[in-house]
C-alpha cells in the first residue's frame, strides 16, 4: 500500500494562518491560470489586430483597383475620342484633296471646295460622292466655272507640255497619288500649284 505523501507544514504568516503545500499549489495554479488567461487575451488581441489590418489592406486594394479602373476607363475614352477626331480629320483632309483635284482638273478655283466641305446641300460625306457633288455644284453655280480652262491632257492620257516657261510641272498622277493617301493638302506640290510656281500636267 502506497504511503500517503507527507504534507509539508508551512510556518504560519504573521496573522497566525497556516498554509499547507496544497494551499500553495492551489494559489500557484490560480496564478498560472490567470497568466494563461492574460496571454490568451494578448493572442486574441494580436489575432484581432491582424484581422483588422488584413481588412484594411483589402479595402485599400479594392479602392486602388476601383481608382485604377476609373483611370483606365478615362484613358480608354480619351483614346477613343482622339482616334475619332484623328479619323475625322484624316477623312476631311483626304476628301479636301480629292475635291481640290476635281476643281483643278476643270480649271476652277480650288477654293470652291469650301462649298463641299461645309454643312449644307453640297457637303460631301464620302469619297465616291466627290465627282458627283462637284458636277452638281458647278451646274448650280455656273459662275464658278466662268473663264475656267480645263487642264489640257492629250489623247491617251499623256501630259501636255508646260504652258509657261520656268513653271514647275507637277504630274496629275502625283496629285492623284497624294490625294488618295490624304497627303495632297499640305504638300509642297500643292503649295507650289496654289502659288503659281507650278502647274498640273
pLDDT band at 161 (very low <50, low <70, confident <90, very high): very low
pLDDT per residue as tens digits for the range 85-101: 888 888 888 888 888 88
Q: 183, exposed or middle or buried, with CB in 10 Å at 0-12, 13-18, 19+?
A: middle
Q: What's the pLDDT at 33?
A: 73
* All structural domains of the chain with their residue ranges: 151-201
Q: Tell me the C-alpha distance between 159 and 162, whole Å.
A: 9
Q: Is 10 helix (H, G, I), strand (E, B) or coil?
A: coil
Provide the mean pLDDT of the chain: 75
pLDDT > 70? residue 158: no
Cell numbers for 11, please give them: 510556518
- Angle 76-80-86 from CA coordinates, rounded to 5°: 140
pTM, 2 dp: 0.45
Most confident of 3-7, 45-49, 81-85, 159-163: 81-85
Digit-coded pLDDT (tens) for 105-128 = 888 888 888 888 887 888 888 888
Is 148's pLDDT higher than 80? no
Amino acid at each position: 500500500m502506497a504511503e500517503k505523501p507527507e504534507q509539508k507544514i508551512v510556518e504560519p504568516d504573521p496573522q497566525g494562518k497556516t498554509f499547507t503545500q496544497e494551499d500553495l499549489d492551489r494559489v500557484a495554479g490560480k496564478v498560472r491560470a490567470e497568466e494563461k488567461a492574460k496571454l490568451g487575451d494578448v493572442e486574441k488581441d494580436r489575432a484581432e489586430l491582424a484581422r483588422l489590418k488584413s481588412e484594411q489592406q483589402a479595402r485599400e486594394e479594392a479602392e486602388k483597383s476601383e481608382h485604377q479602373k476609373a483611370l483606365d476607363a478615362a484613358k480608354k475614352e480619351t483614346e477613343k475620342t482622339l482616334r475619332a477626331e484623328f479619323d475625322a480629320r484624316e477623312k476631311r483632309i483626304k476628301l479636301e484633296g480629292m475635291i481640290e483635284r476635281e476643281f483643278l482638273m476643270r480649271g476652277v478655283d480650288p477654293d470652291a471646295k469650301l462649298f463641299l466641305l461645309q454643312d449644307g446641300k453640297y457637303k460631301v460625306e464620302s469619297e465616291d460622292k466627290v465627282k458627283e457633288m462637284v458636277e452638281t455644284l458647278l451646274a448650280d453655280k455656273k459662275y464658278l466655272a466662268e473663264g475656267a480652262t480645263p487642264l489640257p491632257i492629250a489623247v491617251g492620257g499623256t501630259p501636255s507640255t508646260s504652258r509657261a516657261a520656268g513653271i514647275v510641272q507637277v504630274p496629275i498622277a502625283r496629285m492623284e497619288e497624294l490625294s488618295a493617301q490624304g497627303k495632297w493638302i499640305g504638300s509642297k506640290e500643292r503649295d507650289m500649284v496654289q502659288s503659281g510656281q507650278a502647274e498640273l500636267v
